[in-house]
Chains A and B, each alone.
Chain A
Amino acid sequence: MTLRPVKSIEPGIAASVVVVILLCFVSIAIGAYSLSVIDLVRGDAEFHDSMVMATSRIPRTLAIVLVGMSTSVCGLIMQMLARNKFASPTTAGTVPAASLGILTMALLVPGATMFMKMIVATLFALVGTAAFLLILRYSPMRSPLAVPLVGLMFGGVLGSIATFFAYRYDLLQSLSAWTEGDFSRVLKGRYELLWLSAALTVVAYLAADRFTVAGLGESFATNLGLNYRRVTVLGLVIVATITAVNVVTVGAIPFLGLIVPNVISLAIGDNVRRAVPYAAIGGAAFLLVCDIAGRLIRQPFEIPISAIAGVIGSMVFLVLLIREAPRGS
Chain B
Amino acid sequence: MIEVDNVTKRYGSTTVVDSVSLTIAKGGMTAIVGPNGAGKSTLCSMIGRLIPMDEGSIKVDRFDVTATKGERLARRISILSQENHVTARLSVEDLVLLGRYPYTHGRTTVEDREHLEATIDFMELGPLRHRFLDQLSGGQRQRAFVAMVLCQDTDYILLDEPLNSLDMKHAVAMMKLLRRVCDEQQKTIVYVVHDVNIASWYSDRVVALRDGRIVHDGNPSSFMQPEVMESIFEVDVVIREVKGKPFAVYYG
Of the candidates B87, B94, B152, the one whose C-beta lies within 8 Å of that of A224 is B152
Contacts of B106 in A (CB 8 A): 208-210, 212, 273
Q: A267 to B84: give the CA distance in the assembly, Å.
A: 24
Closest CB-CB distance, B221 to chain A, in whole Å? 33
Interface residues on B, range: 35 or more
Let me know if B169 is at the binding interface, CB within 8 A: no
Closest CB-CB distance, A325 to chain B, in whole Å? 14
Contact yes or no, A213 B70, CB < 8 A: no
Contact yes or no, A227 B88, CB < 8 A: no
Closest CB-CB distance, A190 to chain B, in whole Å? 38
Contact yes or no, A217 B91, CB < 8 A: no
Q: A214 to B106: give the CA distance in the assembly, Å.
A: 13
Contact yes or no, B98 A213, CB < 8 A: yes
Contact yes or no, A226 B130, CB < 8 A: no
Contacts of A216 in B (CB 8 A): 86, 88, 90, 98
Interface residues of A, count at CB 8 A: 35
Q: A1 to B85: give the CA distance in the assembly, Å.
A: 21
Given A3-B130, A270-B90, residue A209 in contact with residue B105 (CB < 8 A): yes
Q: Across the two chains, which residue of chain A brings its CB closest to B158?
A: A223
List residues of B (48-85) whose CB comes within 8 Å of A's CBs.
48-50, 69-75, 78-81, 84-85
Contact yes or no, A269 B86, CB < 8 A: no
Let me know if A80 is at the binding interface, CB within 8 A: yes
Q: Across the two chains, which residue of chain A brings its CB closest to B92?
A: A6
Given A209-B105, A213-B98, residue A226 in contact with residue B86 (CB < 8 A): no
Contacts of A266 in B (CB 8 A): 89
Q: Across the two chains, which residue of chain B brings its CB closest to A223?
A: B79
Show 20 residue pairs from A and B whose CB-CB distance is below 8 angstroms, ordered by the A residue: A1-B135, A3-B135, A4-B130, A5-B130, A6-B91, A85-B87, A209-B105, A209-B106, A215-B88, A216-B86, A216-B88, A216-B98, A219-B81, A219-B84, A223-B74, A223-B79, A224-B101, A224-B152, A269-B94, A270-B89
A residues near B (Cβ < 8 Å) are: 1, 3-7, 80, 83-85, 144, 208-210, 212-213, 215-220, 222-227, 265-266, 269-271, 273, 327
In the A-B complex, the 10 residue pairs with the smallest Cβ-Cβ separation, listed nearest first, are A209-B106, A225-B74, A225-B71, A215-B88, A270-B88, A225-B70, A225-B102, A269-B89, A270-B89, A6-B91
